[in-house]
Amino acid sequence: MVHFADSLTFCGRKVVAAWASLPFPALPGSSLPATLSAHQQDVPWKLLSSWREHKVSCCFAQSVVLRGVCKARPSSSPGQQLLHSHESPEQVLQQYLHTLFPGAFSTAHVLQQPCHTRPPFPQFFSPLLTRQGFLQDKALGPSSAGPNRGVQSIPVLAALQASPGLQQLLSGLCQDLQARPVRRCSSFFTAGVEQDDFQEALEELRTLSQCYETGFGADESEDEADSD
């Protein structure tokens, strides 16, 4: 995991944010290009990390894995023409990422196997989901759903992303630590932490947050993106 994170954190960056879509919003029988084309204005996954920014318009690097949605049937829809020009599901997802985040270093992986959610997996899903985790127009009634009406599998997307929004998270953490009267926390220094070491760690955290400012290391980021 350390080596994987290192591949996304060039230019002095060391932190990535986690995103997920559980389940990934797809209609029954829909192709991957059709599903992604429905989300061309905003990504269909949500932030799991704890910072206030819940919408990212750009990023430096990202790795995205999609499970359970890999069909790439041809379509005549104009909005899907660009995505359908690629053959494999990985290429479709890769092109989608490059369209939303131009210039970012992106890796994409698509797996056919969905995520299984049979018991004891908690059934906290919407009634609008089929047993395979796909969206439908209306919920199925108890009679039509059958005795095993629980969702048995779902398509899932997970992503790790290094984006400018992490600058707010890191700088906010630095400000919170500076505001705390650490000298009054005897257990803090009993553990072996010296005041000078603490101040040095704060300065390193402040420097790290600056690495996520837009424009920082732009030349290096472009070189990494071109090498993809």
pLDDT of residue 227: 47
Confidence of residue 139 (pLDDT cuts 50, 70, 90): low
- 143-152 long-range contacts (CB < 8 A, ≥24 apart) are 150/117, 150/118, 150/119, 150/123, 151/117, 151/123, 151/125, 152/116, 152/117, 152/118
For 38-100, where are the alpha helices, taking DSSP H only?
Answer: 81-84, 89-100
Annotated domain spans of the chain? 1-73+85-162, 167-211
Chain centroid to CA 94: how far? 14
What pTM was estimated for this model as a whole?
A: 0.76
pLDDT in tens, 13-22: 888 888 999 9
C-beta of residue 105 within 8 angstroms of C-beta of residue 224: yes
Does the pLDDT value for residue 12 go beyond 70? Answer: yes
Residues shown for the chain: 228
Output 18 or 195, whichever has higher pLDDT: 18
Report which listed range, 75-79, 132-136, 149-153, 154-158, is most confident. 154-158
Output 86 or 131, whichever has higher pLDDT: 131
pLDDT in tens, 64-86: 999 998 765 544 454 445 555 55
Alpha-carbon gap, residue 66 to 20, rounded angstroms? 10
C-beta of residue 163 within 8 angstroms of C-beta of residue 214: no
